[in-house]
Amino acid sequence: MSIDLKNLTAKKAHEDLLAKKYTVLELANAYVENIKKRDPEVHAYLEIFDDIENQAKKAQERFDNGTADVLTGIPFAIKDNILIEGKIASASSKMLENYHATYDATVIKKLKDAGAIFLGRTNMDEFAMGGSTENSAFGTTHNPHDLTRVPGGSSGGSAAALAMDGCLVALGTDTGGSVRQPASFCGVVGLKPTYGAISRHGLIAMGSSLDQAGPFAKTVTDIEILFSTLAGRDMMDATTISSDTYAKSPLKKSLTIGVPRHTMEKGVDPQVLVNFEESLTRLKKLGHTVIDITLPNIGYALSVYYVLMPAEVSSNLARFDGVKYGLHVNGKNSIEDYFATRAEGFGKEARRRILLGTYVLSSGYYDAYYNKANAVRKTITKDFTDVFTQVDVVLTPTTPTPAFKIGEKANDPLSMYLADIFTVTANLTGMPAISIPSGFAKEGSVSLPLGIQMTAPHGREDILFTLGKDFLGEK
């Protein structure tokens, strides 16, 4: 039987599985077949798991005995920095090329309990550092909409897998935009939840005060289903929060949307700006109010992120010492082993950030850079808290340009970092943000997806879901 993967959502697949239109295995196999067709040119996956049939069998039993959950039998792609017991988790680094996870990340455990199917692990920028997936030690992923372009990053493999119908939903991680930016480039929905909403236990850490796991899906409805399964307090992650940690005022039908136009004055592609205006018109027609707002310190966000993130990276990546995990390279003595392992195991971008981070944390510069950046982080957060007394949501484009060409920014780290201009703030403030497909830019004969980003106050994913569904016309 042939399944219409293009128009399938997790919600619809659940109904179909309940109605026995196809079996869990037939669904999983439909994806595996499509991956075989598309992935040789897209390279979204690093590995397709060999136990899919077994997973499907167990999930099918739950349909047969009436204990199926909404995510039972739903085929997932998992970013390669999320631990699945017994499987390799390489974070797309030579350092962990042969590292097998010894336990399940909490998000994986929750999905296993729900009966989800893991199709495979997806390509990413090494240790989640990058915005194009070009920093993977195992080759670049291509954007399914235009194979000469990047899918975004760092969760580019997960976004591309979804966009090529190589999975029904996917997981990524977002430290400065790594779910939202590739979602925007690939034309799918991507959520960065409130910091602490989803457990980080079992994610390979990048910047611990910024990292969050986040779901990818084709609809906001599916994102909401995933979020409610994944969210919650976890004994294994002391930074997790519960759904009532932040006070919630009742949701209004007509929302006030704040637009910080001053952030879009320079460096934003004209087609992105036109699409953004069209999106505002659409939202107004739906009965929402749009007002201009000012975020006085947002201009510092990118600089603050690129001080704090490398500081946290340098300390998180110190554990890869050739002894505890993964790669070991022999030198003449143990200190040489350490240097040799790190020189061979880490790619260029990882080394660049370790150096930068070590520098900003060094005793002579700690106050000047690290402490200063932390102080500005607080000020930026206050700007947002203040603005949220007047508006329900802050709206910007997700990225300043559509997907760029492979190789275009690979040798110019600063221009690559600039692509994160709209996304890093939500990680600095810890607030939830979602990227929603908003149309296409034309480049010659190809159409490149664009996205808008909605940011809400802490704990208010519900506002993002309501407005997002409204925008996409989902009931």
Indicate the residue among 418 and 472 with the shorter CB distance to ligand GLN.
418
How far apart are the C-alpha atoms of 377 and 383, rounded to whole Å?
Answer: 10
| Residue in the structure block whose two tokens are 């949220």 | 388
**Marked catalytic residue, from 155, 178, 199, 314:** 178
Q: State the minimum distance, in angstroms, from the CB of residue 311 to ligand GLN.
A: 13
Question: Is residue 303 among the annotated active site residues?
Answer: no
**184 binding ligand GLN? (CB under 6 A):** no
- Among the listed residues 154, 199, 314, 435, the single catalytic one is 154
By beta-carbon proximity to ligand GLN, the closer residue of 131 and 151 is 131
* Per CB under 6 A, 206 contacts ligand GLN: yes
Nearest residue to 427 via CA among 450, 391, 453, 409: 453
Q: Which stretch binds ligand GLN (CB under 6 A): 102-110, 168-176, 284-292, 368-376?
A: 168-176
Binding-site member from 75, 115, 131, 144 for ligand GLN (CB under 6 A): 131
Task: Indicate the SS3 state at residue 219.
Answer: coil
For residue 16, what are the CA distances in angstroms to 49, 52, 473, 475? 24, 19, 22, 18
Number of chain residues interacting with ligand GLN (CB under 6 A)? 13
Does position 310 interact with ligand GLN (CB under 6 A)? The reply is no
The Cα 54–Cα 52 span in angstroms is 5
Active site residue 415: no
Q: In 90-120, which positions are buried (b, 16+ CB within 10 angstroms) versus exposed (e)?
A: bbbbbbbbebebeebbbbbbbbeebbbbbbb
Interface with ligand GLN by CB under 6 A: which range of 94-102, 123-131, 368-376, 466-474? 123-131
Residue from 134, 174, 312, 383 in contact with ligand GLN (CB under 6 A): 174
Structure tokens belonging to residue 1: 């039987």
For ligand GLN, the closer of residues 140 and 178 by Cβ is: 178
- DSSP E strands in 287-371: the ranges are 289-292
* Choices 170-178, 197-205, 254-262, 390-398; region in contact with ligand GLN by CB under 6 A: 170-178
> Do residues 456 and 463 lie in contact, with contact meaning Cβ atoms separated by under 8 Å?
yes
Give the residue, chosen from 55, 60, 178, 341, that forms a contact with ligand GLN under the rule CB under 6 A: 178
CB of 199 to ligand GLN, least distance (A): 17
Instruction: Using CB under 6 A, pick the residue from 177, 400, 451, 468 that binds ligand GLN.
Output: 177
Examine the residue annotation and report whether 208 is marked as an active-site residue of this protein: no
312 binding ligand GLN? (CB under 6 A): no
Closest CB to ligand GLN: residue number: 178
**Burial of 262: CB neighbours in 10 Å, binned 0-12, 13-18, 19+:** middle
Near ligand GLN by CB under 6 A: residue from 420, 441, 458, 465 = 420
Coarse DSSP helix, strand, coil percentages of the chain, rounded to the nearest 5 percent: 40, 15, 45
CA 303 to chain CA mean position, Å: 21
Spatial separation of the C-alpha atoms in residues 307 and 202, rounded to whole Å: 25
Q: Does 175 bind ligand GLN (CB under 6 A)?
A: yes
**71: CB partners within 8 A, 6+ apart:** 10, 14, 111, 114, 115, 116, 225, 226, 229
Instruction: Give the shortest CB-53-to-ligand GLN separation in angstroms.
Output: 33
Catalytic residues: 79, 154, 178
- The residues that touch ligand GLN, with contacts defined as CB under 6 A, are 128-131, 154, 174-178, 206, 309, 420
